Chains A and B, each alone.
Chain A
Amino acid sequence: MTEMANHPGGHDRSEQVERRWATIAIVIVSSMVVLAAFAGIHQAVMPQTRIETVDPRTLHVAGEFIESNLGSAVEADGSITVRAVGQQYSFTPQCIVVPTDTPVTFRATSADVVHGFLIEHSNVNTMLVPGYISTATTRFSTPGEVYMPCHEFCGVGHEGMWARIKIVDKAEFQKLAADRRRVDCVAQ
């Protein structure tokens, strides 16, 4: 301050520089906000549009997340809904099967603490909060296998908590779905 008081010209100059730098920062932040909005419109990532709750105490006993209802289900419009549960320290099902070039909606929740839900090579990245249902929609273009690790520290076994997603050809998926109500690739 004392230095600046002795140099009034310098004070003006640094104020000018600070103002210019603040303008640059505002421009950068504004363009990021616009690009984030564009990502929503372009469907690169869609924030969840509504809050859905579920009772974590009765999760395994009744409702949408009972064991026999977990896995991939074919909807009337041809899209796929995958239901999964995260618990310390695994996902159920451990191995999920989805077809290529089909809209896939994941519906998942947690049975105990907060878990992370992330699918490699996709924009699916959300959290599983006990009491709430997290949804995310995506589409897979190439067949293969991707990992789905928990990315939210959930306890001592966190690093071992991950599942696999097997992306298969559309026709192959239809064959799998023909004789089963819910599809998964967990070894029987």
Chain B
Amino acid sequence: MINTEHDAQADEAALEPILQTGARGAMMLAGIATAIVVGLWLAFYLFVFLPRASQ
């Protein structure tokens, strides 16, 4: 199965549209994960850190 000539060609062909459009799913996943982390950071900054200011 692995490294057969036929499969390699089929993979090449299947790869083309994916590379043209970009890995949208991966970007979406990375975007959501980053948004959650930055959102939590901001929430702590605004609702915990700043209210504890000395003035």
Contact = CB atoms under 8 A, between A and B. Distances in A.
B27 A137 contact: no
A42 B20 contact: no
B21 interface: yes
Nearest to A10: B19
A9 B20 contact: yes
A70 B38 CA distance: 41
Interface string A104-145: 000000000000000001110000000000000111000000
B20 A13 contact: yes
Given A13-B21, A28-B38, A139 B15 contact: no
Nearest to A136: B54
Task: Decide if the interface of chain A is mainly helix, strand, loop or mixed.
Answer: helix
B34 A28 contact: yes
Given A16-B22, A28-B38, A35-B45, A10 B15 contact: yes
Interface residues of A, number: 29
A131 B16 CA distance: 64
B23 A17 contact: yes
B3 interface: no
Interface residues of B, number: 21
Interface string A1-38: 00110110111011011000100100010001001000
Interface string A94-107: 00000000010000
A139 B20 contact: no
Interface in B7-53: 12, 15-16, 18-23, 27, 30, 34, 38, 41, 45, 49-50, 52-53
24 contacts: A4-B19, A7-B19, A9-B16, A9-B19, A9-B20, A13-B19, A13-B21, A14-B22, A17-B22, A24-B34, A28-B38, A39-B49, A39-B50, A42-B53, A43-B53, A44-B50, A44-B53, A45-B49, A123-B52, A123-B53, A123-B54, A137-B54, A138-B52, A139-B55
Interface of B: 12, 15-16, 18-23, 27, 30, 34, 38, 41, 45, 49-50, 52-55
